[in-house]
Amino acid sequence: MHRTLGVCYYPEHWPEDQWARDAALMVETGLSWVRIAEFAWARMEPAPDQFDWAWLDRAIETLGAAGLQVVLGTPTATPPRWMLDKYPDMLPVDAAGQVRKFGSRRHYDFSHLGYRGEARRIARLMAERYGSNPYVHAWQIDNEYDCHDTTLSYSSAATRGFQDWLAQTYQSIGALNRAWGNVFWSMDYDDFDQIALPNQTVTEPNPSHVLAFRQYSSDQVVAFNRAQAEEIRAYSAAPLIHNYMGRITSFDHWAVGRDLEIASWDSYPIGFLSDRIEGTAEEKQFYLRQGHPDNQAFHHDLYHAVGRGRMWVMEQQPGPVNWAPYNPAPLPGMARLWAWEAFAHGAETVCYFRWRQAPFAQEQNHAGLLRPDSQPAPALAEAATVAQEIADLPAVDRGQAPVALIFDYQSAWAWDTQPQGADFDMFRLGFAAYRALRRAGLSVDILAPDCADLSAYKLVFAPGLMTISDPLRAALSTYKGIALIGPRSDTKTDQLTIPSPMGPNLPGVDVTVALTESIPPSDAIALEEGGQFRHWFEHLEGSATVFGKTVSGQPAVMGGDHLRYLAGWPDDATFDRLVRALCAEAGVMTYDLPQGVRIKETSTHRFIFNYAPEPREWNGVTLAPAGVHWEEL
Amino acid sequence: MHRTLGVCYYPEHWPEDQWARDAALMVETGLSWVRIAEFAWARMEPAPDQFDWAWLDRAIETLGAAGLQVVLGTPTATPPRWMLDKYPDMLPVDAAGQVRKFGSRRHYDFSHLGYRGEARRIARLMAERYGSNPYVHAWQIDNEYDCHDTTLSYSSAATRGFQDWLAQTYQSIGALNRAWGNVFWSMDYDDFDQIALPNQTVTEPNPSHVLAFRQYSSDQVVAFNRAQAEEIRAYSAAPLIHNYMGRITSFDHWAVGRDLEIASWDSYPIGFLSDRIEGTAEEKQFYLRQGHPDNQAFHHDLYHAVGRGRMWVMEQQPGPVNWAPYNPAPLPGMARLWAWEAFAHGAETVCYFRWRQAPFAQEQNHAGLLRPDSQPAPALAEAATVAQEIADLPAVDRGQAPVALIFDYQSAWAWDTQPQGADFDMFRLGFAAYRALRRAGLSVDILAPDCADLSAYKLVFAPGLMTISDPLRAALSTYKGIALIGPRSDTKTDQLTIPSPMGPNLPGVDVTVALTESIPPSDAIALEEGGQFRHWFEHLEGSATVFGKTVSGQPAVMGGDHLRYLAGWPDDATFDRLVRALCAEAGVMTYDLPQGVRIKETSTHRFIFNYAPEPREWNGVTLAPAGVHWEEL
Amino acid sequence: MHRTLGVCYYPEHWPEDQWARDAALMVETGLSWVRIAEFAWARMEPAPDQFDWAWLDRAIETLGAAGLQVVLGTPTATPPRWMLDKYPDMLPVDAAGQVRKFGSRRHYDFSHLGYRGEARRIARLMAERYGSNPYVHAWQIDNEYDCHDTTLSYSSAATRGFQDWLAQTYQSIGALNRAWGNVFWSMDYDDFDQIALPNQTVTEPNPSHVLAFRQYSSDQVVAFNRAQAEEIRAYSAAPLIHNYMGRITSFDHWAVGRDLEIASWDSYPIGFLSDRIEGTAEEKQFYLRQGHPDNQAFHHDLYHAVGRGRMWVMEQQPGPVNWAPYNPAPLPGMARLWAWEAFAHGAETVCYFRWRQAPFAQEQNHAGLLRPDSQPAPALAEAATVAQEIADLPAVDRGQAPVALIFDYQSAWAWDTQPQGADFDMFRLGFAAYRALRRAGLSVDILAPDCADLSAYKLVFAPGLMTISDPLRAALSTYKGIALIGPRSDTKTDQLTIPSPMGPNLPGVDVTVALTESIPPSDAIALEEGGQFRHWFEHLEGSATVFGKTVSGQPAVMGGDHLRYLAGWPDDATFDRLVRALCAEAGVMTYDLPQGVRIKETSTHRFIFNYAPEPREWNGVTLAPAGVHWEEL
């Protein structure tokens, strides 16, 4: 499949006589797609039920006529100011009970059914008008769910919604009290209407209470998205897309993804580096103008799975952004590298964000492909290069990965709720495993926790999986590769209580977590074969084979030929050793890569990326900083 | 006196058919006491005035019949959800004005008289029913006052109560204005009803205002406790106990203790280490799985005094807890060491918390003596060992200490209110002195600030004592040992203003604090004899003898043969030097102890404890890590 | 002009029979001025419209008769408690929406017109009574505007006031929407009454919205001050003064200053050092008991300009204060040095704060010239020394500085609103430039951003200037010295949007900021001539001459003979190099000063100050620690 490039554009920001010139230059640059309209509700409907579609008609016509395919966004992340007059209580409320006010974006509560109806209404109106427009080739619903921490809201609407959800889920209040263990501190409820949201309690609330609220809140995101999807589908055959942000775990992306055709995400490699990705100060300085070398790949692989095989980058950082603590410029070449890395991981389209830097409002210091004065910014030429390279290179596919990693959002909520160690974080654990696999040169598929078939993989990692779903348990029971499960896996019920018998309860493997320790950064559990566990260590018991020990003689890994349980959180060097040993055993080839070099193998090619700020040599290939190389396999 | 062991148990958490098996295993382990019921209000009174005592009758009968003595807890730390329907305003309010919601525990306001009446009512009902029960041998009132910072509440109830308290205390508003110096910033009040709580002022409130609120708030804890004590006493001759937490200074433990027969405390050596005890990162790593070697001893000694000679450990950590930032497992043997250390310091009983790890709710990751699946956790065998050793060893007493340390809660409030240096903290200062005494192998008695007799002690330390009480002043005026008073002692009035003449006003000693400096961590005041003052330094004047100087020639200690004033906060090495010099002068024997070794001498024995994670030798004795040794004196 | 000393005094704190003794000792010490009454509203008007002037009459009489000149303060920073009964909504509200309560000071909202009327009323009443009193020689209005962050209030009064201000400023809501770029995220308003204050938005609000609120809030301070000034002027010919605090940028001091005759400030060199001034830990330890050697000079120079040539120090730290994180004592001699430094920079009068340490309320741990027991504190003798030296020395003036620095408050608000890099701060940038000039021994004048004449200066620095005003642009267009403008200068409109053409738009110089980077502390931009840019770097383009480059070849400075644009934020060493090179080119003499030594040249003398805690030699002069030397030029 030939890959394509696009760009995000805001015709409402510019004089109309500029649109055609912009469109022509987009096409000349080699761009195929243009995303528009996702923040323009106030221009479409300046007052309740007073519509102005004409400008949008003309914008689509102008862009389409120039040869661009339009992704049309629903503007529900930015309800106009008049919406608050209809629904004064639609604003989200933070955990401290403070209303989050109008004046920026995402000022709505997913639980507010009145606003959900409004979102459905504007989506239907857009779909009616543009559902068969020949230039509209895809739809984006809303924009970056949860951005600015908006999944959780502690509003009256959320309270009522949560009480209803609990009533439907548990049916009887006694069942809820028993499921949550409310006897513990006389926390029993007499009625669902007594149950408040789990914020601002004197000390920590019941973790089952919190987990239920997390599940409820995720369900509202799914419902909000589905409401719009239903409306658009009634009028349009074009694929539906949402643009997820990176490293967000507050809602179940697998569930949202099931209602859409394509998963896209917004990739800001440098914006994320300093405070949204773990790493030492030295690493962050080394990758300052490139971004973390595994962050983009992880999200490509994750969203490729969320999109069931269809993935885009909807927003690609082109230069300095405005919202990170510090905002340096990318190394020359990175805007090209990031695009090619996305393609190698299966992206169909990469859209740069944005066409022209806006001279006003919140993002006026966020670079685009053009400067505010319409002069080219550095990334424009790189985009043009990529466009040319796409045309010259044979079609790229993603290929079949030999290794899989299971990633679960419910577990993320559980461990947020009950970290037990201050630095335990689900994303961090999953990403640590992923990084180790990548450092060994492996291509990785990320799987949902309800996957029923592992047969394509020689090796499967399942760290931090609160529970094992029935389909996965069935798949594991007949699995012929090696599955490394743990740490902190299958040791809780889906109510975040301790199961009986205590877990893990792996099919055919006698191993039990007898005792759990969280480990401060000053300490570690040394392993007999070298390396150490950090953060987390479980004392294992049972009759299963011991595959490795701590220096004090406790099991580090236990299990059988196919299913093994990992007792701790390995540090990077130990993860590297484990990956290489398991790959050797499972017959998966690994590589030695220099610092900053990463590879991705597709069915036909090997892509090599240099994230280092220095030249690198590998496998006979020399790569400049930000260099990309591909070769046929 | 022979010491005993016990355990905390929650029959309401488990199927009734389990109770007898649990009781039998407790007895088999050697436990004598079982504490129950302190969180079970919702099971005793599931709806207002609808009682279910039958299960509790059977639980007490089952445990008692098995040979256990019951400590029966009043459940007032966990009012049921229906209580909020009676008293919607009973919830505590934090300093930011946010209501602290239902959903965990301690969700009540000490100032709320309606809820205080409810607490009195349930205590009376329990005392009526169980006051003469042959198996109920002691009562616990409430649970861990102030846990989760619940002494101070900024509610309407507290506002009204505080205004009444001020009116009763000062009688006229003019007297209050003068006592507080409200003229300072035109802060005068015309009426007591105008006086708000001292939170959320534009800048810091008047320290006299804050201190009054701290005293008022402490008084409410005392009154709340006394209300229940009065009710139980009417029906039961068994001793009354409260289980204090460690390192809490928000209410006057001396005052609460006067209304009870026994002071107990909840000892979590590892849970406290990382963020509730000062120390370097290296020390915290060294003691990671043992706890700070002086923290338990300090609290044993403190609560032995609060209990006027009767002290228990009501909750003893048995394994990893769930609530510290990180929760590693204790070193094998520590559950034994901690118990023996408590006994050596005079504990009558040590109860492990809890019998079986709960599989649900907030503390599901908190270890017990049994695992959730009823298998033994590591501490069970250690408890059994202690039980056997108790039986084998001659009775232990506490003995008379040669040295005393005065510890005052009002001073803690004063210095919280007016730290003057960001790291000045009353507990920290008192504990620094205590640690130095312990490092020299000394047994220490902790005394209340109104103690009237010091004659049993050769050496008395009184650091940070805001005022000197009349009885103490009288005792000091005839004291024949050496009393080291200061720094920051007797330099304020009880209204937290500066006295005239300026202090200290020690009997027969001419010394005045002319000027005070707080010292940042980067700086120190070097002393002529070596070592330095840190944090705090007072410029002393007067005709008293100078016992030591700073290198710039200012007095470090001034006074006479018996009363001396210490001008600064010595660092550890300087405290060590001071302790040894004063002990030599006062005729008190000191010891050189290796790192991690601590001793406690009773009337008959010397106990030696090894808190190091390595073997230690001292005085011809070799101790393994977590080792305990006793020898007759 | 002969300089004078004074002191701050609170007759209402002391028995009346003490007043005459105090006054006599003040005069004996050599003090000429006494400031009184600025917190005494509750004593002047104990109940609404019930006045007690008698005590104040007697206090002024007593002080004046002793030979002292009175500065009479309006007490509007401390409205009495009864004021709240009249205006319950007059309290300020913080950004989290919390009311800031009565109980300290500055508990009023600058936007509250009712309270503004009360302030006007009490000022008029005082002016009527004392406007022609022969002992009242100056007035202080209010006290330390913005202290405790009180310029910004998020109250209902501020909301209404802001909406009115916006309506008056923009006239049409469409004009506002366009000026702010509200189209960006559908943030358009239909009416001014819809515009809330820019706090608590879901994510960052529109920077134009924030900047408007900052300008509005500053305008309210100006209006509040002007209201009182108008009243006093109607009755008194004495000069009007406000005592500004250091390092406050929340309101436009230039604008407030235009309504007053004299600018004074409150100088707390040690109080400010630890957490209000940047610097390494080593520097802060080095200057622990002296204060930062450039902080006082900067503020003297700034307020000399704000006062259009008339400047006082209204409060001079005499010993330890109570409000910094740590409060050590000054090095002996500093109370003298600080006074002489103020005089050398043009101060007419230096008043020590306060006469006698108060034994009660918030500042009881704040030193005075006397101790609470009326014994002399260390600074008393130093004040007497200064008084004697003033008498002995020929009159001091300030002289003409060869170098100017432009400092702008609106830019400070802009960069607070849009820092782009986490450590970008206007004061910090301006102060970095000032420090470099001082290290080179230069005397500096600070100029307002609307200055129209630069002809007195050979060198002008203008860092961080958001916009260039029309008068300044005119002055620059004919400037014959060297003006170094930038970084981050003239690159925004006064609405905080990006101008077209993009800036800077310097007269006759073709240079454009093509791209901007903020730089984390781990990174820096190395320069070809040595040194580096930190924090901030702008990529420059244009045909102007390049005066220096980065090692990667980008321009570091561009411009012409007279106007040059600086592309980054130089580190200290680079600033030193730039200053010396520009001085050499402009014909300004520079000096090499040892660490801690600073000089100030007046028309007739050179003053040399030793801020080091060690002796220093310079230019043949040996100075003890805290030493001051003057010599005729």
Is B188's Cβ below 8 Å from some Cβ in C?
yes
pLDDT at residue B564 above 70?
A: yes
Whether residues B12 and A183 touch (CB distance < 8 A) is answered with yes
Residue of B38, B45, B118, B144 with catalytic role: B144
Angle at A49 between CA A43 and CA A55, to 5 degrees: 30
Whether residues C359 and B497 touch (CB distance < 8 A) is answered with yes
Q: Can you tell me the mean pLDDT for A213-235?
A: 98
Is A518's Cβ below 8 Å from some Cβ in B?
yes
Q: Can you tell me the mean pLDDT for C440-462?
A: 98
Q: Can you tell me the mean pLDDT for B242-251?
A: 98
Whether residues B92 and A202 touch (CB distance < 8 A) is answered with yes
- Residues A419-449 have pLDDT tens digits of 999 999 999 999 999 999 999 999 999 999 9
Q: Can you tell me the mean pLDDT for A386-403?
A: 90
Is B12's Cβ below 8 Å from some Cβ in A?
yes
Distance from the A362 Cα atom to the nearest Cα atom in chain C, whole angstroms = 5
Looking at residue B1, its pLDDT comes to 66
Q: Can you tell me the mean pLDDT for A463-488?
A: 98
Judge contact between A497 and B357, C-beta under 8 A. Answer: no
Whether residues A105 and C205 touch (CB distance < 8 A) is answered with no
Looking at residue B509, its pLDDT comes to 97
| Pick among C154, C182, C201 to test the A interface (most A CBs inside 10 A) | C201
Q: Can you tell me the mean pLDDT for B124-151?
A: 98
Looking at residue A414, its pLDDT comes to 98
**Cα–Cα distance between C257 and B578 in angstroms, integer?**
57
Look at residues A62, A58, A56 and name the one whose alpha carbon lies nearest to residue A44. Answer: A56
Mean pLDDT of chain B: 97
Q: Can you tell me the mean pLDDT for C566-573?
A: 98
Asked if omega into A463 is within 30° of 0 (cis), the reply is no
Q: Can you tell me the mean pLDDT for A597-606?
A: 96
| Pick among B154, B173, B187 to test the C interface (most C CBs inside 10 A) | B187
Is B326's Cβ below 8 Å from some Cβ in A?
yes
Which residues of A are identified as catalytic? 144, 315
**Cα–Cα distance between C221 and C239 in angstroms, integer?**
19
Look at residues A489, A417, A500, A421 and name the one whose alpha carbon lies nearest to residue A449. Answer: A489
Judge contact between B79 and B108, C-beta under 8 A. Answer: yes
Looking at residue A209, its pLDDT comes to 98
Looking at residue A531, its pLDDT comes to 96
- Residues C270-303 have pLDDT tens digits of 999 999 999 999 999 999 999 999 999 999 999 9
Least CB-CB distance to C360: which of B180, B420, B516? B180
What is the pLDDT confidence band of residue A395, given thresholds at 50, 70 and 90?
confident
What's the farthest any 2 CA atoms get from each other in chain A? 76
Whether residues C100 and B181 touch (CB distance < 8 A) is answered with no
Q: Residue A543's CB: how many other CB atoms inside 10 A? A: 8
Q: Can you tell me the mean pLDDT for B443-460?
A: 98
Whether residues B101 and A196 touch (CB distance < 8 A) is answered with yes
Q: Can you tell me the mean pLDDT for B349-374?
A: 98
Least CB-CB distance to A205: which of B96, B104, B329? B104
Query: CB within 8 A of B612, min separation 6: which ones?
Result: B286, B290, B594, B595, B596, B597, B625
Looking at residue A1, its pLDDT comes to 66
Residue A519, phi-psi category: left (phi > 0), alpha (psi -120 to 50), beta (remainder): beta
pLDDT at residue C394 above 90?
A: no
- Residues B14-71 have pLDDT tens digits of 999 999 999 999 999 999 999 999 999 999 999 999 999 999 999 999 999 999 999 9
- Residues A314-326 have pLDDT tens digits of 999 999 999 999 9
Write the CA distances from B124 to A289, A399, B249, B262, B515, integer angstroms.
70, 74, 29, 20, 54
Whether residues C498 and A39 touch (CB distance < 8 A) is answered with no
pLDDT at residue A405 above 70?
A: yes
Whether residues C148 and B96 touch (CB distance < 8 A) is answered with no
Looking at residue C1, its pLDDT comes to 66
Write the CA distances from B74 to A471, B7, B63, B225, integer angstroms.
48, 17, 18, 11
Which of 456-495 (A) contact B at CB < 8 A?
Answer: 495
Distance from the C577 Cα atom to the nearest Cα atom in chain B, whole angstroms = 31
List all chains that touch chain A, counting a touch as 3 or more CB pairs closer than 8 Å.
B, C
Q: What are phi and psi of A234, to 5 degrees?
A: -70, -20
Chain A residues closer than 8 Å to B106 by CB:
202-203
pLDDT at residue A148 above 70?
A: yes
What is the pLDDT confidence band of residue A397, given thresholds at 50, 70 and 90?
confident
Looking at residue A396, its pLDDT comes to 78
* % of chain A surpassing 90 pLDDT: 98
Least CB-CB distance to C372: which of B502, B517, B523? B502
Is B497's Cβ below 8 Å from some Cβ in C?
yes
Is C95's Cβ below 8 Å from some Cβ in B?
no
Looking at residue B396, its pLDDT comes to 78
List all chains that touch chain C, counting a touch as 3 or more CB pairs closer than 8 Å.
A, B
Estimate to the nearest angstrom the gap between the alpha carbon of C423 and the chain centroid: 20
Write the CA distances from A589 to A402, A443, A460, A577, C308, integer angstroms.
9, 11, 15, 14, 78
Looking at residue A618, its pLDDT comes to 98
- Residues A33-82 have pLDDT tens digits of 999 999 999 999 999 999 999 999 999 999 999 999 999 999 999 999 99
Q: What are phi and psi of B211, to 5 degrees?
A: -60, -40
Q: Is the pTM of this model over 0.90?
A: yes
Mean pLDDT of chain C: 97
Least CB-CB distance to B421: which of C92, C281, C327? C327
Least CB-CB distance to A515: which of B92, B326, B367? B367
Looking at residue C395, its pLDDT comes to 78
What is the pLDDT confidence band of residue C268, given thresholds at 50, 70 and 90?
very high
Q: What are phi and psi of B504, to 5 degrees?
A: -75, 150
Which of 104-163 (C) contact A at CB < 8 A?
Answer: none
* % of chain C surpassing 70 pLDDT: 100
Distance from the A236 Cα atom to the nearest Cα atom in chain C, whole angstroms = 25
Residue of B nearest to A498 (CA): B359
Whether residues B190 and C82 touch (CB distance < 8 A) is answered with yes
Tokens of A459: 């090796």
Whether residues C285 and B199 touch (CB distance < 8 A) is answered with no
Put the strands of the sheet holding A545-549 in their side by side order.
A444-447, A403-406, A459-462, A482-485, A563-566, A555-559, A545-549
DSSP 8-state code for residue C414: H
Looking at residue C276, its pLDDT comes to 94
**Cα–Cα distance between B154 and A116 in angstroms, integer?**
38
Whether residues A190 and B98 touch (CB distance < 8 A) is answered with no
Whether residues B185 and C39 touch (CB distance < 8 A) is answered with yes
Q: Tell me the helices (H) and strands (E) count for chain C, helix number first.
A: 18, 24
Which of 304-323 (B) contact A at CB < 8 A?
Answer: 319-320, 322-323
**Cα–Cα distance between B334 and B354 in angstroms, integer?**
16
Q: Residue C83's CB: how many other CB atoms inside 10 A? A: 23
DSSP 8-state code for residue C464: T
Q: Can you tell me the mean pLDDT for B218-223?
A: 98
- Residues C490-548 have pLDDT tens digits of 999 999 999 999 999 999 999 999 999 999 999 999 999 999 999 999 999 999 999 99
Residue of A nearest to C189 (CA): A81
Looking at residue B338, its pLDDT comes to 98
Is B191's Cβ below 8 Å from some Cβ in C?
no
Which residues of C are identified as catalytic? 144, 315
Whether residues C364 and B201 touch (CB distance < 8 A) is answered with no
Q: Can you tell me the mean pLDDT for C139-150?
A: 98
**Residue C395 CB burial class (10 angstroms; 0-12, 13-18, ≥19):** exposed
pLDDT at residue A201 above 70?
A: yes
Q: Can you tell me the mean pLDDT for A256-268?
A: 98
Is C194's Cβ below 8 Å from some Cβ in A?
yes
Least CB-CB distance to A516: which of B39, B81, B365? B365
